[in-house]
Amino acid sequence: METSKPLRACLECEEELQGRSDKKFCDDACRTAYNNKKKARTSLYLRKVNRVLARNYKILCQLNPKGKTRLAREQLLQRGFNFNFFTNLYETQSGTRYFFVYEQGYLLLPEDQVALVRQKDYLKERLL
């Protein structure tokens, strides 16, 4: 059913490919080079995200030693907290949304306030 396709190029070196229609690389060297670069990009991204999560987690632990507190959003930002990264969300029946970084959670309040909570039981229930 394969119709003749226009030019196919190696994903690595972009040379025109000969032979089988499912071929993606001209040879093993190009395949290996391509896959290595792809793997390196993926692990770089994972490392960056993990670093942001680790920093967020550390900040929440430092600011919330007793398991429950309330402070200005600015206090988190000053320490380098990144509100775009968290591990999970928990929404109550009434629609209140808690963001969690592992078992450290926070809730955004009016007037740029943030409530910090720690919820171990909640996570246990959902992980097992």
Using CB under 5 A, which of 8, 9, 10, 55 touches Zn ion? 10
Least Å from the CB of residue 16 to Zn ion: 10
Yes or no: say if 102 and 50 are a contact pair by the CB < 8 Å rule: no
# of chain residues touching Zn ion (CB under 5 A): 5
Determine if 13 is a binding residue for Zn ion (CB under 5 A): yes
Q: Burial of 71 by CB count in 10 Å (0-12 exposed, 13-18 middle, 19+ buried)?
A: middle
> Is the CB of 11 or the CB of 123 nearer to Zn ion?
11
Closest CA to 107 of 69, 65, 75: 69
Footprint on residues 16-75 left by Zn ion (CB under 5 A): 26, 30
Determine if 107 is a binding residue for Zn ion (CB under 5 A): no
Which helix (H) or strand (E) segment holds residue 30: the answer is helix 28-63
> Is the CB of 30 or the CB of 59 nearer to Zn ion?
30
Closest CA to 98 of 77, 79, 119, 81: 119
Least Å from the CB of residue 45 to Zn ion: 25
> Nearest 5°: CA angle at 62, between 59 and 63?
85
> Is the CB of 32 or the CB of 43 nearer to Zn ion?
32
Q: Which residues bind Zn ion (CB under 5 A)?
A: 10, 12-13, 26, 30
